[in-house]
Amino acid sequence: MNVHSQGLLEHDTDLRTPSMYEVIIHNDDVTSMDFVTCVLIDVFLKTPPSAAALMMEVHEKGHGVAGVYVFDIAVTKKSQADLMAAEQGFPLKLTIREVSQ
């Protein structure tokens, strides 16, 4: 590496921590608790006990955070859950919200 290219690397490299986004799962009166638990296990990789606890939080409080990810992963997880719900005929609603720094 020559001196000129080393200087470019030092000045042009500005690494920042990416913004993080919560994927929020919302309660509704139609989607079954078992299905919500399956989504949390299959899409958000929760353990069965963790998924069951989060499902109950969503049921009791109206919503819960399924996971926190960089934007692209959050969108992918939401899309996967949306597809699963549509395939099963459930109106499950998920939203994405930026985590304040």
| Percent above pLDDT 70 for the chain | 88
Among 88, 76, 68, 70, which Cα is nearest to 43's? Answer: 76
What is the residue extent of each domain of the chain?
18-98
Tens digit of each residue's pLDDT (9 = 90 or more) over 6-52: 555 566 677 888 999 999 999 999 999 999 999 999 999 999 999 99
Rounded Cα distance, 62 and 58, in Å = 5
Q: Give the per-residue pLDDT at 15.
A: 85
Architecture in CATH for domain 18-98: 2-Layer Sandwich (3.30)
Q: Which amino acid is at 71?
A: F
CB 92 within 8 A of CB 85: yes
pTM, entire model:
0.84
Backbone angles phi, psi at 20, to 5 degrees: -110, 150
CA atoms within 13 A on the CB side of 92: 32
